[in-house]
Structure 1
Amino acid sequence: MNRAIDLYCERLGPGLWGEPLNAVTNLAFILAGILLVAALRRDAAARRDPAVLGLVALVFLVGIGSGLFHTLATVWAALADVIPVALFILLYMYLALTRFAALARWGALTGVAVVLVLVTAMPLAFGFSVATYGVALAAMLGVGGFLHFGRRHPAGRRILAAAGVFALSLAFRTADLPLCAALPVGTHFLWHLLNAVVLYSLTRTMMVEGTKKA
C-alpha cells in the first residue's frame, strides 16, 4: 500500500480525511470560480475572451487539484495540485505583459520564459519549497510596481494589492510546520483561503482592465 505524502502539520494519517481542514478549504477556489463565472455573465467582452476563460477554468482546476492532493496525497495528485497553479502563473504573466505593460509578444514570452526557468529551477535545486512561490510573488511585485509607478496603469494597484495578500498567504504556508507543536491543525488552510482571494482578484483585474481592447 502506498504511503501518503506527508508535507503538512494537519495530516492525521494515510486516509482520505488525513487533512480534513486542508481538504475542505479548497472549496474556496471553487467558490472563487463560481463568482468569476457570475462576473462573466455580466461582462460580454470578458465572456468572449478565450484567455480570460482559460484563467477562470484554471481557478477551478487549482481547487480540484489541491483537493485531490490533500485527500489522496499521492505523487500524481501532487502533480494535479501544482500544474494548474504553474499554468495560471505563466498565462497571467503573459497576459499582464502584453495587455497591461503593452510589451511585444517576444518581450512577453521572454518574461514568461524567465519565470518558467526560475519556477522549474527552484524545486530542482532546493526541493519544492516556499522559494518556488517566492518567484511568483517577485513577479507580481515587479509587474504590479512597473504598471503602477511606471505606467500609472489602473491594473498595477490591483496586482500590488493581490501581491500583498499573497505575501501574507505565503507567510502562513511557511509557518505551517514550525508552528505544528503549538497549533496541531497547522496554518496551511489559510494558504488556501487567501490564495482563493488572490486568484479571484487577479482574474477580475484581467476581466476589467485586460479586455477593453481584446
Structure 2
Amino acid sequence: MISGSIPESIGKLSKLQKLGIVVNNIFGKIPSSIGNITGLSNLGAATNMLEGRIPTELGNCTNLQQLYLGSNRLTGKIPEQVIGIASLTIGLYLELNEFTGPLPSQVGNLKNLGALSISGNKLTGEIPSALGNCLVLEYLDLHGNFLDGAIPSSLNQLKGIRELNLSQNNLSGQIPEFLGKLPLMRLNLSHNMFEGEVPKVGVFNNISAFSVENYRTAPEACGRAPVP
C-alpha cells in the first residue's frame, strides 16, 4: 500500500495514458498539473484520502475514458470542465465524497458514457434535464444526496438504462410512468417524497427489482394506507 501525496511534478509525465493508485493511503489535493497530461485515458484514484476540490485543469484531459475518484474526501462543486469531458465513455465515479452544489448541466456532454455514480455526496437542486442526453447510459446512481424537484421527463431518452438509483433524496411529484417503459432491471426510488399512484408497467411489476419505501402513495396503488 502506497502512502503520500501526488506530487505537482506528475504533470511532467506528458505521455502518461493510465494512472492507477486505487485503495492506498494517498492524501492531500489532486495537483492542478495533472491537466498537463492531456493524453491520459484512465485515472483511478478511488478509495484514498484525497481532499479539496477537483482541479478544473483536469478538464484539459480530453482523452479520458474512465475517471474513478470515489471514496475520498473531495469537496466543493463538481467542476463543469470535468463533468463535461465528452471523451468519457466507460465510467465516471465520484461517489462517497463531500461534493456540494447542483449537478452541472454539462453532464449532458457525456453522450457516450456507460456508467455514472455520484451517490453519497451533498448535491442539491434538481436533476438537470441535460442528463437525458447521456443516451447510452446503462448505470446511473445519484442516491444519498439532497436533490429535489421532479424526475425530469428527459430521462425517457435513456433507452439503454439498466440500473437507476435515485433513493435517499428529496425528490417529489409523481413517479413518471415512462420509467416502466425503459429496460430497467433495477430501480430504487425509496426514501423520497413522491406522491400519487405507482405505475403498473415494466419494472414496477417486478417486486424484486423495484424499491419505493417511504412513498406517499394512493391507497389503491398498493392495497394499503399511505405512509403518514
Q: Normalising to structure 2: TM-score of the pair?
A: 0.23
Q: Give the structure with the higher percent strand.
A: 2
Q: Which has the larger radius of gyration?
A: 2
TM-score with structure 1 length normalisation? 0.24
